[in-house]
Amino acid sequence: MADSTLKSPAKKHNDPNKQAKRAAFDPTVASDKPQEYYDEIKARFELERDIRLKYRPKGLGEYTSDLEGELAKYEVDPYAEEQVAREPMEDYVEFLFIGGGFSALLTAARLRERGVESIRIVERGSDVGGTWYWNRYPGAACDVSAYDYLPLLDEMGHVPESFFAKGPEIFAHCQNIARRYDLYDLAIFQTTVESTHWDKEAKLWRLKTDRGDTLSARFVICANGTLAKPKLSRIQGMETFKGHSFHTSRFDYEYCGANLENLKDKRVGIIGTGASAVQIIPRVGRASKSLHVFQRTPSAIDIRDDIPTDPKWAASLKPGWQKERIDKHVLTTKPDPAKRAEIEQLPRDVRTQRYENQNIEHQMRIHARVDSVINDPATAEALKPWYMHRCKRPCYDDEYPPAFNLPNVHLVDTQGKGVTQINERGVVFEGVEYPVDVLIYATGFEVQVTGIYNDIRGEDGMELNEKYSTGMRTVFGIHSAGYPNLFIMGGYQASFQFNLTFMLQTQGFHIAECIKYTRENGYITIDAKPDTEQWWVDEVIRYRGTTNRNKECTPGYYNFEGEENRRQDGNYNGGMYQYVQHLDESKGKYREYFDFQQ
Ligand code: NDP
């Protein structure tokens, strides 16, 4: 089956309204195939999920992010020249950011615009950039249109090079923001915050770092990332491997060569086929002597269709073009009351069935794409995802599927079992040894536990983790009662957005406004009221309570690896538009939402 849309057209981006294509399902439209067709596929989805659950009895416990001892090397920063020696610092600032990625850069920029001077950024890496500092693997790129994803384009006078920005361009943009807003002088790099304790008497946060620093701050912003801490699958014998190995977020160019040229005589193994692996595999496949890809569950790979920016279009853009574009886009996510009414008058089971049927149609289109590209029928079969769209992170790539037609690229489909054994020579699966010189772990990250690594203790000395152990409790996912002047960015109970920078900008704006109000009114602290917190927890539960999706999906990080979880321990599912509305509504009513102290 030929698919004419597989190749990117030789045109340049000149459509200011073009958005990245995302699947959208409309339950007012009935499916045109007999219901048995969909039921059969749904039954296969369940079967495949059950296979995976059977092989992962420990759920989240199948992974480890305690990268100590033998595993410590997987977290070492390969991009830092060497650790710069410095004396421990003792200082006070008004605002301290834990982390130097987009969350910190965007919020610090907003604070700067409000005349704030006393800011410090404490960052584990040796530069700003966060995700884009760490994830420098070959092919790293963003799946959200660059004109929306790259923030502050108006302010920075930058027009992205192509519709989807590549990692180096995004990293450079982060560095440019830091320069433009004079944030470099405020940053201390190669430094990890180890504890963040509230000093009740002084009404200050006291922080300690792994470099012996003692820092004090009036306000702390946890900006340490949504997917920041690498994790490894616990695989028997992984410590015994004698070859070279690393995690995707610590890509070793010294070993592979800047253009992967050192891989030409190397046998490479990659464990995992998530979004990172999907981008790496075609590049490493082309560069290496051989590549074995160890797959547990295939990703769903949709068309990418990237195009370079038309320079004439770029030159024609008027100041404020990005804001206009984003405003327009946000408005399109506003629920249409007429459509909503039409949907709501459908019986619930009809609605659900139609959503599911359209979702299945979408996934079958992905299957057809696999068939149209892959030469070997067995490989094609193995690359087909058998789960609903968005059970796992959808991927958009035009180079990944054809990579499996290369003679040196081999898919080892573990059919849901996953790699369970590694020896000194390589990977062993079902008694077959796959010797490799280098093993790349594309096994992902801890998810959205922003802030809780740093031993954060609030007013009564309770660690934030401990408070959350009986259920997460926040206001907007940003404030948590008993932790005054602490703001959490990109964590659970906030909305979830494919365009994460939009979410972070929204949160950054809210935080800057809260701080402005606190300072201008002569207060020293702002803290969530317990009642407001309860209201938000109920809001989160209300929107997470309507679906069994977590249970029905194949395991992965989207559904806590199939583990049962409390309804409140996840994202706010009321939609980004409504999340923004809630934040906007709080403005001007801060005294109703928060407690302030002088
Ligand atoms: P993921 O968590 O998405 O993927 C981990 C992969 O490792 C899965 O395929 C998982 O299989 C596999 N795995 C784990 N253990 C084993 C095992 N023992 N044997 C075989 N396979 C195993 O991590 P990623 O780093 O790929 O992506 C994380 C997120 O980062 C993405 O979801 C996305 O949000 C973001 N990202 C975005 C990109 C973009 O914009 N294009 C690019 C890269 C990342 P299984 O599915 O069976 O659990």
CA 517 to chain CA centroid, nearest Å: 31
What mean pLDDT do residues 288-296 have? 98
Which amino acid residue places its CA nearest to atom 25 of ligand 1? 444
- Residue 572 Cα to ligand 1 midpoint, Å, equals 23
Average pLDDT over residues 568-597: 92
Which run of H or of E encompasses 518? helix 500-520
pLDDT at 14: 66
Residue 352, classified by CB atoms within 10 Å of its CB into exposed (0-12), middle (13-18) or buried (19+), is middle
At 339 the pLDDT is: 84
**Which has the minimum average pLDDT: 304-313, 394-403, 558-567?**
558-567
Protein residues with CB under 6 Å of any ligand 1 atom = 142-143, 227, 233, 235, 248, 271-277, 279, 294, 296-297, 393, 414, 418-419, 442-445, 556-557
> Is pLDDT above 70 for 135?
yes
> What is the average per-residue pLDDT within 310-330?
88
Distance CA 412, CA 383 (A): 10
427: confidence class by pLDDT, cuts 50, 70, 90: very high
For 287-323, give the secondary structure using H, E and C.
HCCEEEEEECCCCCEECCCCCEECHHHHHHCCCCHHH
φ, ψ of residue 46 to 5 degrees: the values are -65, -40
Q: 163 C-alpha to center of ligand 1: Å?
A: 24
Residue 139 has pLDDT above 80, yes or no: yes
259-280 pLDDT, tens digit each: 999 999 999 999 999 999 999 9
177-187 pLDDT tens trace:
999 999 999 89
What confidence category does residue 17 fall into, taking pLDDT thresholds of 50, 70 and 90?
low
Atom of ligand 1 nearest to the CA of 143: 40
Our mutation pick for probing the ligand 1 site, out of 56, 248, 443, counting the most ligand atoms within 8 A of Cβ, is: 443
* 546 pLDDT tier (thresholds 50, 70, 90): low
Residue 9's pLDDT is what?
42
For residue 287, name the pLDDT band (cuts at 50, 70, 90): very high
For residues 486 and 479, the answer to whether their CB atoms sit within 8 Å is yes
Longest dimension (CA), the chain: 72
The two beta strands, 432-435 and 426-429, are antiparallel
Length of the chain: 598
The b-or-e profile of 125-161 (16+ CB within 10 A means b, else e) is bbbbbbbbbbbbbbbbbbbbbbbbbbbbbbebebbbb
Inter-residue contact 120 to 188 (CB < 8 Å) = yes
Ligand 1 nearest atom to the CA of residue 249, by list position: 25
Residue 444: both structure tokens together: 């992902």
Question: Could you give the CA distance from residue 372 to residue 393 in angstroms, rounded to a whole number?
Answer: 22
CA quadruple 374, 377, 383, 389: dihedral sign: positive
Buried b (16+ CB within 10 A) or exposed e, 531-555: ebbeebbebbbebbeeeeebebbbb
Three-state DSSP string of 164-175:
EEEHHHHHHHHH
Per-residue pLDDT at 7: 40
Q: Whose CA is nearest to atom 23 of ligand 1?
A: 444
Count of beta carbons in the 10 Å neighbourhood of residue 503 = 23
Q: What is the pLDDT of residue 261?
A: 98
C-alpha 122 to ligand 1 mean position (Å): 28
Atom of ligand 1 nearest to the CA of 294: 20
Res 304: pLDDT? 92
pLDDT at position 2 is 34
Report the pLDDT value the prediction gives residue 11, as an integer from 0 to 100: 66
Asked whether the beta carbons of 206 and 214 are under 8 A apart, the reply is: yes
Strands in 223-287 per DSSP E: 232-233, 244-247, 267-271
The answer, yes or no, to whether residue 590 has pLDDT greater than 90, is yes
Q: How far is the CA of 275 from the centre of ligand 1 (A)?
A: 6
Residue 126 DSSP class: S
Q: Which residues contact 586 (CB under 8 A, 6 or more apart)?
A: 476, 510, 593
- The overall average pLDDT reported for the chain is 92
Higher pLDDT, 538 or 116: 538
What Cα–Cα distance (Å) separates residue 73 from each residue in 78, 247, 454?
Answer: 10, 9, 21
Determine the distance separating the centroid of ligand 1 and the alpha carbon of 390, expressed in angstroms.
13
* Pick from 250, 232, 241, 231: nearest CA to 439: 241
Of 447 and 138, more confident: 138
**pLDDT tens digits for range 74-130:** 999 999 977 778 999 999 999 999 999 999 999 999 888 888 889 999 999 999 999
Q: Hey, what's the torsion of the CAs at 407, 271, 436, 266, to 10 degrees?
A: 60
488 vs 519: CA distance, rounded Å: 19
Over range 313-335, report the average pLDDT.
83
**Confidence band, pLDDT 50/70/90 cuts, at residue 5:** very low
- Percent of the chain at pLDDT > 70 equals 95
Cα 274 to chain centroid, rounded: 12
Nearest to 288 by CA among 271, 263, 269, 270: 263
Per-residue CA distances from 211 to 10, 88, 191, 252 (Å): 52, 6, 6, 25
Confidence of residue 13 (pLDDT cuts 50, 70, 90): low
pLDDT digits (tens, 9 = 90+) for 202-242: 999 999 999 999 999 999 999 998 888 999 999 999 999 99
- Tell me the mean pLDDT in the region 170-180: 97
Secondary structure (3-state) at 419: coil
Q: pTM of the entire structure?
A: 0.94
Q: How far apart are CA 483 and CA 525, in angstroms?
A: 10
Residue 71: pLDDT band (50, 70, 90) is: very high
Strands 486-488 and 63-64: unpaired
Question: Of ligand 1's atoms, which has the minimum distance to the CA of residue 395?
Answer: 41
| 450 band by pLDDT with thresholds 50, 70 and 90 | low
Distance from residue 15's CA to the centre of ligand 1 (Å): 32
What whole-number percentage of the chain has pLDDT above 90?
76
What secondary structure letter does DSSP report for 558?
Answer: G
Stretch 588-592: mean pLDDT: 94
User: What's the distance, Cα to Cα, between the start and end of the chain in Å?
Assistant: 70
- DSSP, collapsed to helix, strand or coil, labels residue 206 as strand
- Helix, strand and coil in the chain, % to nearest 5: 40, 20, 45
Sequence-distant (≥ 6) Cβ neighbours of residue 307 within 8 angstroms: 8, 9, 11, 12, 13, 162, 163
